[in-house]
Amino acid sequence: MLMDREALERTMFRSCWKKRQILKGWNQILSSCPEIKWHFIGHLQKHNINKLIAVPNLYMLETVDSVKLADKVNNSWQKKGSPERLKVMVQINTSGEESKHGLPPSETVATVEHINAECPSLEFMGLMTIGSFGYDLSQGPNPDFQALLSLRKELCEKLSIPIDQVELSMGMSMDFQHAIEVGSTNVRIGSTIFGERDYSKKPAVDKDTADIKATVEIAQEH
């Protein structure tokens, strides 16, 4: 497997709109790496959709967690006039924790079906989950990863989608190796690459963004 460097990104959305130096750094990255592909990870509030859509080289939104959000993102992307569809993943709350965003597993098929039928400017790419933190792998495979694998199988059977066309975004710095072993195609390993971020002197951020630092897309070596 290879790490697709063009798919390397940080979820720094809020601070990017507040700090000029970060925006300047962002532009420097784009000038040096014009083909870089940005993924957005973290809970997307509806009033921030247009700001996100305006980001140059936005490639994928990994955290669509409702039909309403999908519709609003679709409309905003249409207004942007991009010739390409925006790639999206549907976030599933596999652990059932109230502290996590994401759809209940039972709504997965209906939401993907809606995106495919009613959101012509979006391209459904796969499923994403965060799962419970600190799972002890000595107890066996991570149940959240297994749940996402099962949901993909169910989704593909009901909507007649080839299973290799549905990506799985699961696994972070503490468990990405296990995630890859069980079938993850995208892992989020920002802490491993960039180091831990210090939040002790910063305002609180939303419950997903505080824990997710980056994504590295894992691509099969051809």
> Does the pLDDT value for residue 1 go beyond 60?
no
Q: Domain boundaries in the chain?
A: 5-218
- Alpha-carbon span 13 to 174, nearest angstrom: 23
> Does the pLDDT value for residue 198 go beyond 80?
no
Percentage of residues in the chain with pLDDT exceeding 70? 73
Pairing mode of beta strands 38-40, 58-64: parallel
Q: Look at the alpha carbons of 186, 192, 195, 197 in this order and tell me if their dihedral is positive or negative.
A: positive
**What's the CATH superfamily of 5-218?**
Alanine racemase (3.20.20.10)
Check residue 42 and give left, alpha or beta (phi > 0: left; psi -120 to 50: alpha): left
> Does the pLDDT value for residue 12 go beyond 60?
no
Higher-confidence residue: 217 or 152?
152
Q: What is the pLDDT of residues 35-92, one digit of tens each?
A: 778 888 888 998 999 989 988 888 999 999 999 999 999 999 999 999 999 999 999 9
> Does the pLDDT value for residue 122 go beyond 60?
yes
Token pair of 125 as six digits:
């790419």
Higher-confidence residue: 129 or 202?
129
What own/partner pairs with CB < 8 Å and gap ≥ 24 does 150-159 have?
151/92, 151/94, 151/105, 151/108, 151/127, 152/126, 152/127, 154/108, 154/109, 155/108, 155/109, 155/112, 155/127, 158/109, 159/109, 159/112, 159/113, 159/116
Token pair of 41 as six digits:
């990870």
Which H or E run contains 187?
strand 186-188
> Does the pLDDT value for residue 210 go beyond 70?
no
Q: What is the pTM of this model?
A: 0.76
Query: Residue 17's pLDDT band (boundaries 50, 70, 90)?
Result: very low
- Alpha-carbon span 216 to 143, nearest angstrom: 22
Distance of CA 177 to the CA centre of its chain: 18
| 118-133 average pLDDT score | 92
| 103-127 average pLDDT score | 97
Residue 217: the pLDDT is 37
> Does the pLDDT value for residue 4 go beyond 50?
no
| 131-151 average pLDDT score | 85
